[in-house]
Protein backbone atom coordinates (compact mmCIF):
# COMPACT_ATOMS: atom_id res chain seq x y z
CA UNK A 1 0.00 0.00 0.00
CA UNK A 2 2.81 2.39 0.85
CA UNK A 3 4.41 1.64 -2.52
CA UNK A 4 1.26 2.77 -4.32
CA UNK A 5 1.27 6.10 -2.54
CA UNK A 6 4.67 7.10 -3.88
CA UNK A 7 4.51 9.71 -6.58
CA UNK A 8 6.30 9.55 -9.90
CA UNK A 9 8.62 12.28 -8.69
CA UNK A 10 9.79 10.21 -5.73
CA UNK A 11 10.70 7.40 -8.15
CA UNK A 12 13.09 9.66 -10.01
CA UNK A 13 10.84 10.88 -12.82
CA UNK A 14 11.50 14.40 -14.04
CA UNK A 15 9.28 17.03 -15.54
CA UNK A 16 9.26 17.23 -19.35
CA UNK A 17 11.74 19.62 -20.89
CA UNK A 18 9.73 22.62 -22.06
CA UNK A 19 12.25 23.29 -24.82
CA UNK A 20 11.13 20.06 -26.51
CA UNK A 21 7.48 21.12 -26.65
CA UNK A 22 6.47 22.33 -30.11
CA UNK A 23 3.77 24.99 -30.27
CA UNK A 24 1.66 25.35 -33.41
CA UNK A 25 1.54 29.07 -34.14
CA UNK A 26 -0.03 28.74 -37.59
CA UNK A 27 -3.55 28.95 -36.24
CA UNK A 28 -5.03 31.70 -34.11
CA UNK A 29 -6.22 30.64 -30.66
CA UNK A 30 -9.91 29.74 -30.35
CA UNK A 31 -10.14 29.62 -34.12
CA UNK A 32 -10.04 25.87 -34.62
CA UNK A 33 -12.73 23.55 -35.84
CA UNK A 34 -15.78 23.27 -33.65
CA UNK A 35 -18.46 20.66 -33.30
CA UNK A 36 -21.18 23.29 -33.66
CA UNK A 37 -23.65 22.67 -36.48
CA UNK A 38 -24.04 25.26 -39.21
CA UNK A 39 -27.44 26.63 -38.25
CA UNK A 40 -27.48 29.21 -41.02
CA UNK A 41 -27.03 26.58 -43.72
CA UNK A 42 -29.76 24.51 -42.09
CA UNK A 43 -32.20 27.43 -42.03
CA UNK A 44 -31.34 28.32 -45.64
CA UNK A 45 -32.10 24.76 -46.73
CA UNK A 46 -35.70 25.05 -45.50
CA UNK A 47 -38.60 26.38 -47.59
CA UNK A 48 -38.90 30.17 -47.58
CA UNK A 49 -42.20 30.11 -45.69
CA UNK A 50 -40.63 28.19 -42.79
CA UNK A 51 -37.30 30.07 -42.57
CA UNK A 52 -38.37 32.91 -40.22
CA UNK A 53 -39.92 30.44 -37.79
CA UNK A 54 -36.87 28.15 -37.99
CA UNK A 55 -34.50 31.06 -37.36
CA UNK A 56 -36.56 32.09 -34.32
CA UNK A 57 -36.53 28.54 -32.92
CA UNK A 58 -32.79 28.20 -33.55
CA UNK A 59 -32.20 31.51 -31.75
CA UNK A 60 -34.21 30.40 -28.74
CA UNK A 61 -32.39 27.06 -28.63
CA UNK A 62 -28.99 28.74 -28.86
CA UNK A 63 -29.96 31.22 -26.12
CA UNK A 64 -31.16 28.42 -23.84
CA UNK A 65 -28.07 26.24 -24.31
CA UNK A 66 -25.91 27.95 -21.64
CA UNK A 67 -28.73 27.50 -19.13
CA UNK A 68 -29.18 23.90 -20.27
CA UNK A 69 -25.46 23.20 -19.79
CA UNK A 70 -25.56 24.81 -16.35
CA UNK A 71 -28.41 22.61 -15.10
CA UNK A 72 -27.63 19.30 -16.85
CA UNK A 73 -24.45 18.30 -14.89
CA UNK A 74 -26.11 19.09 -11.58
CA UNK A 75 -29.13 16.97 -12.42
CA UNK A 76 -26.90 14.13 -13.69
CA UNK A 77 -24.99 14.11 -10.40
CA UNK A 78 -28.25 13.78 -8.47
CA UNK A 79 -29.34 10.64 -10.34
CA UNK A 80 -32.98 9.90 -11.07
CA UNK A 81 -34.28 12.69 -8.84
CA UNK A 82 -31.95 15.02 -10.72
CA UNK A 83 -33.51 13.95 -13.99
CA UNK A 84 -36.94 14.78 -12.59
CA UNK A 85 -35.60 18.13 -11.42
CA UNK A 86 -34.17 18.76 -14.87
CA UNK A 87 -37.49 17.84 -16.49
CA UNK A 88 -39.28 20.30 -14.21
CA UNK A 89 -36.75 23.07 -14.85
CA UNK A 90 -36.63 22.61 -18.63
CA UNK A 91 -39.71 24.77 -19.36
CA UNK A 92 -38.26 27.49 -17.14
CA UNK A 93 -34.95 27.26 -19.00
CA UNK A 94 -36.72 27.56 -22.35
CA UNK A 95 -38.82 30.48 -21.10
CA UNK A 96 -35.75 32.33 -19.78
CA UNK A 97 -33.96 31.69 -23.07
CA UNK A 98 -36.83 33.12 -25.07
CA UNK A 99 -37.01 36.15 -22.74
CA UNK A 100 -33.28 36.69 -23.21
CA UNK A 101 -33.72 36.56 -27.00
CA UNK A 102 -36.56 39.09 -26.77
CA UNK A 103 -34.43 41.41 -24.65
CA UNK A 104 -31.42 41.01 -26.97
CA UNK A 105 -33.40 41.67 -30.13
CA UNK A 106 -35.33 44.57 -28.61
CA UNK A 107 -32.11 46.25 -27.46
CA UNK A 108 -30.98 46.39 -31.09
CA UNK A 109 -34.44 47.49 -32.26
CA UNK A 110 -34.34 50.37 -29.76
CA UNK A 111 -30.86 51.38 -30.95
CA UNK A 112 -32.05 51.32 -34.56
CA UNK A 113 -35.08 53.44 -33.62
CA UNK A 114 -32.83 56.03 -31.99
CA UNK A 115 -30.62 56.18 -35.08
CA UNK A 116 -33.65 56.52 -37.35
CA UNK A 117 -35.04 59.29 -35.14
CA UNK A 118 -31.78 61.22 -35.56
CA UNK A 119 -31.84 60.66 -39.33
CA UNK A 120 -35.42 61.95 -39.56
CA UNK A 121 -34.53 64.94 -37.38
CA UNK A 122 -31.55 65.77 -39.61
CA UNK A 123 -33.64 65.36 -42.76
CA UNK A 124 -36.20 67.77 -41.33
CA UNK A 125 -33.45 70.40 -41.05
CA UNK A 126 -32.98 70.37 -44.82
CA UNK A 127 -34.83 73.09 -46.71
CA UNK A 128 -38.19 71.99 -48.00
CA UNK A 129 -38.43 71.84 -51.76
CA UNK A 130 -41.58 73.13 -53.37
CA UNK A 131 -43.09 71.36 -56.35
CA UNK A 132 -42.60 73.27 -59.62
Q: Is residue 45 in some structural domain?
A: no
Q: Is residue 90 in some structural domain?
A: yes
Residue 17: the pLDDT is 58
Q: Is residue 61 in some structural domain?
A: yes
| pLDDT (tens place) for every residue of the chain, 132 residues total | 455 544 555 555 555 555 655 655 555 455 455 555 666 777 778 888 888 888 788 777 777 777 667 766 766 676 666 667 777 777 777 777 778 888 888 888 899 999 999 999 998 888 877 776
- Chain-centroid distance of CA 70 in Å reads 13
Residue 102: the pLDDT is 82
Q: Is residue 13 in some structural domain?
A: no
Residue 101: the pLDDT is 80
Q: Is residue 94 in some structural domain?
A: yes
Quote the number of domains for the chain: 1
Q: Is residue 29 in some structural domain?
A: no
Q: Is residue 103 in some structural domain?
A: yes
Residue 45: the pLDDT is 82
- State the residue range of the domain holding 91: 50-119
Instruction: List, in order, residues 6 or more apart from 109 with CB less than 8 Å away.
Output: none
Q: Is residue 10 in some structural domain?
A: no
Residue 106: the pLDDT is 86
Amino acid sequence: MAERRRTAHSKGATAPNTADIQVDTTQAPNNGPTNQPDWTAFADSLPAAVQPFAIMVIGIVRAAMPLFHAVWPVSKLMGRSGMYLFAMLSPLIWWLGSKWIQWYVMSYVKKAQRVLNWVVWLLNLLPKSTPA
